[in-house]
Chain A
Amino acid sequence: MVAVFPFLWMVLSSFKTNREILLTVPPTFLPAAFYTGGYLKVLFDAPFFRWMLNSLFIGVTTTAAVVFTSALVGYIYAKFQFFGKRTSFAIILLTLMIPFEVIMIPEFLIVSGLGLLNSLSGIIVPSLVSAFGIFMCRQFCESVPGELLDAGRIDGASELGIFLRIIVPEITPAMSALTIFTFMGSWNNYVWPLIVINDQVKMPVSLAISYFNGAHMVHPSYVMAAAVLIVLPVLAVYLVFQRQFVEGLALSGIK
């Protein structure tokens, strides 16, 4: 219940006026009246729907690419041997160990050199593969019994076929989790898109929060409303995929 409380407070605050949030001491829990001005301002003062669409496009493409490549590459690292395997995996891990702010400028220079600035591709292309995803899928693929794979090969299935028909069903729980995480990460990503995009219509929805929380202005009501609205699609993805989750593990249970 502790888990839900701040979340609940955020939702309730989104229905309070700015003054109510800032001034009432001691702070109230329920709003005095259901004030929808925060939501109206967020939805109509900014191109909110367009931003949602941008984020959706970015989220879906990134997630699909990441989940597929991570499962594939994770599988290879788990079940195959090849030259330079340990070193390359260490390098892949290494890419997780450096804070984004440090590589932001060089990455920006590279993306700019490739002509991807001010476009959604500039956000999508650098995020098509994820070291986190590869690492996670490797761990889960390791647990898949080798006999299943050998059986598949004896049956004459192609390597790709083995991947799709044997591995993927086995690691569905992991892949569902990865889908949810990747989508969320992409949805909430905000610094990089801000640096890369110049035109307001191309921006993703994640920056709506800071749009309303400017340096000299204090508008917690709008910030809360924006935060709630932004969370909704992520929750939707979660609810959809957690069912996959459940079905996936039901399948893996029957073995």
Chain B
Amino acid sequence: MSGGVARRGVRWGGRQRFVLFSLLPVFLLLAVFVVLPIVFSVVVSLFNYNPLSHSPPFVGLQNYRNLFSDGVFLRSISNTFLFVAVSVAANLLLATLVALAIDLVPRQGPKGLFRTVFFLPTTANIAAIAIVWGYMLNPRFGIVAGLFSILGVNLQLNWLGDQKLVMASIVTLNLWQDIGYNIIIVLAGLESIPRMFYESALVEGANRVRVFFGITLPLLARTMLFVSVMTIISYFQVFTPVMVLTRGGPNHASELLGVSIYLNAFQFSRLGYASGMAVILMALLLVLSLAQMKLFKPKWDY
């Protein structure tokens, strides 16, 4: 712990004032618009809640008990774990590879072009993209099917209607649209590494691989930690592409937690139940994130 603030004791030093005035408005906004609703939701999970009701019945932990015996919810959790495991691994790997590749491009012009091309899908609205992919993947009229038939492959795969294929399709489409974020962030991380490290390494005669493992990777650690924590948090909540394309079907094969929560909160008017799901999700994510940050804490400073 740096001694700075502690040493100053109770005097309102310049630094303390700075910290206070910077944090206070931000905390206030977060507290009112995010923390408060979250607390509300946690409380609501203890009720059979309908926002229109004047006196919703208190059910204590009944929602949670029901959740653990709800086949659909359990299926949703396993779907989500699978989705996250596959997607996050693929995302981190691909994003890093692409970012590294782009970073290697010597000239700014083509470099910028590549960066743009890979970021392009991310700029579009995910709902619109999902609709586009929906048309493309239709087994009879979609362009993917059309391509297959041109190539002479007679598979007639039902990308979204087949329980075994739908998850793969959602993973692919979500990755396609989302990977741009991480590519940009990893690129930013790569470009924050001061060139002088590379220069001194080259002077010492280190080869590419050693440079990568000895300099790039360690210095990228903070960025990678951020990317992995955020991607996991985000992918656990994926919802729009599924809602637009399959609504969780066929038969819950593509139902992710975000979708279950949405359906229960709005379509089925079970906000208490949905809040219970969200609380479980939140607890899960908190544990996962803190674990990641403990395990992979970068141990050095510059």
Contacts and interface: CB of A to CB of B under 8 A. Distances in A.
B268 interface: no
Contacts of B19: 76, 80, 82
Given A102-B278, A132-B230, A231-B123, A90 B286 contact: yes
B122 to A, nearest CB: 7
Nearest to A210: B127
A80 B15 contact: yes
Interface residues of B, number: 102
Interface string B1-26: 11011100000001110110011011
In the complex, which range does the number of interface residues on chain A fall in? 35 or more
Interface stretch (B68-76, B161-169, B208-216, B219-227): B219-227
Contacts of B141: 22, 24-27
Interface string B81-111: 0000000000000000000000000001001
B253 to A, nearest CB: 20
Interface in B171-192: 176, 181, 184-185, 187-189, 191-192
Given A82-B5, A128-B29, A6 B140 contact: no
B192 A249 contact: yes
A88 B40 CA distance: 19
A9 B223 CA distance: 34
B36 A131 contact: no
Contact of A135 (B140, B188, B226, B278): B226
Given A9-B143, A82-B5, A227-B132, 11 more contacts: A10-B132, A27-B142, A91-B35, A101-B274, A107-B33, A129-B29, A135-B229, A206-B125, A235-B123, A242-B112, A252-B192
Nearest to A134: B26
B30 A131 contact: yes
A255 B196 contact: yes
Contacts of B196: 255
Given A80-B15, A80-B19, A81-B2, A231 B125 contact: yes
A180 interface: yes
A105 B123 contact: no
Interface string A174-204: 1011001100100010100000000000000
Nearest to A183: B123
Interface string B37-61: 1101100100000010000000000
Q: Mostly helix, strand, loop or mixed at chain B's interface?
A: helix
Interface string A159-180: 1100000000011011011001
Given A26-B149, A234-B123, A106 B41 contact: yes
21 contacts: A3-B121, A3-B176, A4-B120, A9-B136, A10-B129, A21-B135, A26-B149, A27-B142, A72-B22, A96-B230, A98-B282, A99-B262, A105-B271, A140-B192, A140-B223, A142-B298, A181-B184, A224-B128, A242-B116, A243-B112, A254-B195
Contacts of A22: 141
A99 B136 contact: no
A128 B4 CA distance: 30
B233 A97 contact: yes
A236 B1 CA distance: 44
B61 to A, nearest CB: 18
Interface in A127-166: 128-129, 131-132, 134-136, 139-140, 142-146, 158-160
Given A27-B146, A73-B22, A188 B126 contact: yes
B22 A220 contact: no
Nearest to A93: B289
B157 to A, nearest CB: 15
